[in-house]
């Protein structure tokens, strides 16, 4: 008897940045009620599962990734009842719901950290975090030279109860995000409690934030080279990818094994394929984000190399690959591929490439509308902590987080009846959901059709690909089920291989595939 593969193995996940999706209470900030209001749209789009960025209780110093209570929903997003209602409605429509969890750090407003500040050096309360004495005379220097991902040092000095300058605490990200010490068994026990809390409420899995970051090296040694970027593949960075992280994931997997329907998805920035594959061994994570396609220029050879690399990274451990072109932390693909009509054409083509590949696909909200980054937001509107932490030298990630346009001719395009938390460009009038649903050849219509074909057609079966011969500047591969995908990154139209055209991202020109386009054949 053939065993049915798990639902997540080839699922299309739709990433929702809740602040920017839809607002149901007129405060200008998207919420879970807004997501629930748009559930019909998500069903129409055809996605299998949602991935919700953080909605737990948080002071929002870093868009919710600073969690004060991981077992509650922030009132900003509608509270716990709104989450329960959303999960129930999604399940009625046969859509799974996964959510972000943040195991690497907490908020400074988490009860544990508040207790740590009120406790003495060496206390059990401080042992849940990384509190250390400073270096130099009177401890005025940080304990090591690590930088924060968001700029500045990765250490902040506290004032002790008696008013004197005291110890320092570690925060790989913002000062409002103190790192948890996973060598303390209380930390793992509490995280298991969090996992079971949500799984028992019907959540179908989690995207684990910074899944390569929870384990720190013994002694917290200095970095040989003090550099930092948002998140990059750097296997020599002692802040990440330490061997101890794998025992943490094994412990978490034992929890997931009690919930066979659920999936764990790790955010893993690791360059070496053998080390990447370790995260998705059968007793660790189910899936791990691979960002190769999102980092690859629109060039056939580079795309082919990224695909091969991504497949190789999981082949030895038998895990499904994952594919994504954008998320809430990186520039949108339309802008990366050149912007304007060219950027949209190339983004449409690359969507067809990723949906043709075996494995799980993650679509960032707004990609299906062909939205570009908004790189000209006024400085007064910027909210990303990167802007302040960098001394106003890095604008941060707000440009890919601008709210979605739903309907109408003028901003805020039905996103809210209030003032949106980030301004929406007036030139998005032709990119609204309403406008694109009424247009057969819109980017949204192409996404809907591509997702539907991927779900229905047997030609998309098989867990590997075979490369076809193709002209310079193009690539072509075949799935075992019979699907052929062709991408043209050259300047001129190309002839297609034999087969019946199933779908193309742009109209053919004299039976040839134009530049900046992709096609599926069977």
User: Which tens digits make up the pLDDT trace of 146-166?
Assistant: 999 888 899 999 999 899 999
Rounded (10°) angle between helices 300-315 and 340-356: 30
b/e map 257-268, b = 16+ CB within 10 Å: eebeebbbbbbb
Is a pLDDT exceeding 90 seen at residue 352?
Answer: yes
Asked if 151 and 184 touch (Cβ cutoff 8 Å), the reply is no
The three-state secondary structure class of 510 is: coil
Find the mean pLDDT for residues 286-315.
Answer: 95
Considering the candidates 267, 278, 333, 459, report the single residue annotated as catalytic.
Answer: 267
Dist. CA 463–CA 320, nearest whole Å: 8
Considering the candidates 209, 284, 333, 368, report the single residue annotated as catalytic.
Answer: 209
User: Taking the model in full, what pTM does it have?
Assistant: 0.95
> What's the pLDDT score for residue 382?
75
267 included as an active-site residue: yes
Dihedral sign from CA coordinates of 55, 57, 59, 61 = negative
pLDDT digits (tens, 9 = 90+) for 416-475: 999 999 999 999 999 999 999 999 999 999 999 999 999 999 999 999 999 999 999 999
Q: What is the mean pLDDT of the chain?
A: 95
CB atoms near residue 71 (< 10 Å): 15
Q: Which two tokens stand for residue 130?
A: 């990384």
427 included as an active-site residue: no
Is a pLDDT exceeding 90 seen at residue 379?
Answer: no
Helices and strands of the chain, counted as H and E runs = 13, 20
Distances (CA, A) of 117 to 9, 145, 164, 284: 44, 23, 13, 34
> What's the pLDDT score for residue 275?
94
Which secondary structure element, helix H or strand E, spans residue 81, and what is its range? helix 79-92
Beta strands 466-467 and 360-364 are unpaired
The three-state secondary structure class of 159 is: strand
Q: What are phi and psi for residue 340, nearest 5 degrees?
A: 60, -155
Q: In terms of Cα–Cα distance, which of 78, 75, 67 is closest to 33? A: 78
What are 503's strand-pairing partners?
520
Across 26-35, 204-213, 267-276, least confident range: 267-276
> What's the pLDDT score for residue 1?
56
Q: Which two tokens stand for residue 120?
A: 């003495």
């Amino acid at each position: 008897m053939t065993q049915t593969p798990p639902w997540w193995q080839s699922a299309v996940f739709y990433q929702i940045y809740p602040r920017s999706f839809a607002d149901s209470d007129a405060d200008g900030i998207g919420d879970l009620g807004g997501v629930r209001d748009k559930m019909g749209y998500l069903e129409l789009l055809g996605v299998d599962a949602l991935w919700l960025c953080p909605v737990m209780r948080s002071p929002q110093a870093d868009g919710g990734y600073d969690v004060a209570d991981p077992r509650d929903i922030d009132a900003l997003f509608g509270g716990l009842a709104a989450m329960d209602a959303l999960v129930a409605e999604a399940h009625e429509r046969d859509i799974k719901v996964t959510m972000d969890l943040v195991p690497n750090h907490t908020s400074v407003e988490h009860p544990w950290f508040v207790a740590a500040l009120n406790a003495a050096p060496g206390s059990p309360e401080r042992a849940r975090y990384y509190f250390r004495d400073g270096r130099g005379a009177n401890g005025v220097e940080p304990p090591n030279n690590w930088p924060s991902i968001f700029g500045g040092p990765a250490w902040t000095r506290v004032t002790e109860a008696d008013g004197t300058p005291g110890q320092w605490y570690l925060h790989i990200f913002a000062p409002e995000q103190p790192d948890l010490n996973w060598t303390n068994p209380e930390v793992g026990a509490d995280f298991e409690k969090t996992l079971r809390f949500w799984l028992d409420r019907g959540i179908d899995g989690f995207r684990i934030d910074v899944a390569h970051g929870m384990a720190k090296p013994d002694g917290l040694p200095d970095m040989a080279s003090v550099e930092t970027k948002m998140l990059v593949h750097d296997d020599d960075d002692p802040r990440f990818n330490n061997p101890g992280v794998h025992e943490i994931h094994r412990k978490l997997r034992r929890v997931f094994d009690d919930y066979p329907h659920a999936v764990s998805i790790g955010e893993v920035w690791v360059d070496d394929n053998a080390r990447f594959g370790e995260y998705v061994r059968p007793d660790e994570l189910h899936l791990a984000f691979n960002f190769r396609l999102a980092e690859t220029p629109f060039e056939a050879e580079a795309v082919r190399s990224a695909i091969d690399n991504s497949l190789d990274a999981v082949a030895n451990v038998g895990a499904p690959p994952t594919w994504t072109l954008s998320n809430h932390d990186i520039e949108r693909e339309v802008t990366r591929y050149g912007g304007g009509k060219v950027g949209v054409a190339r983004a449409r083509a690359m969507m067809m490439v990723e949906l043709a590949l075996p494995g799980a696909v993650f679509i960032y909200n707004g990609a299906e509308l062909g939205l570009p980054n908004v790189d000209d937001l006024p400085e007064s509107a910027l909210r990303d902590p990167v802007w302040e932490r960098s001394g106003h030298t890095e604008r941060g990630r707000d440009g890919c987080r601008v709210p979605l346009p739903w309907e109408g001719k003028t901003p805020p395009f039905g996103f809210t009846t209030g003032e949106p938390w980030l301004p929406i460009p007036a030139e998005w009038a032709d990119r609204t959901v309403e406008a694109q649903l009424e247009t057969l050849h819109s980017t949204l219509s192409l996404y809907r059709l591509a997702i539907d074909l991927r779900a229905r057609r047997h030609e998309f079966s098989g867990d590997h690909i075979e490369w076809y011969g193709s002209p310079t500047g193009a690539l072509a591969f075949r799935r075992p089920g019979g699907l052929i995908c062709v991408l043209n990154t050259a300047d001129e139209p190309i002839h297609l291989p034999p087969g019946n055209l199933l779908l193309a991202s742009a109209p053919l020109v004299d039976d040839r595939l134009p530049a900046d386009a992709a096609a599926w054949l069977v």
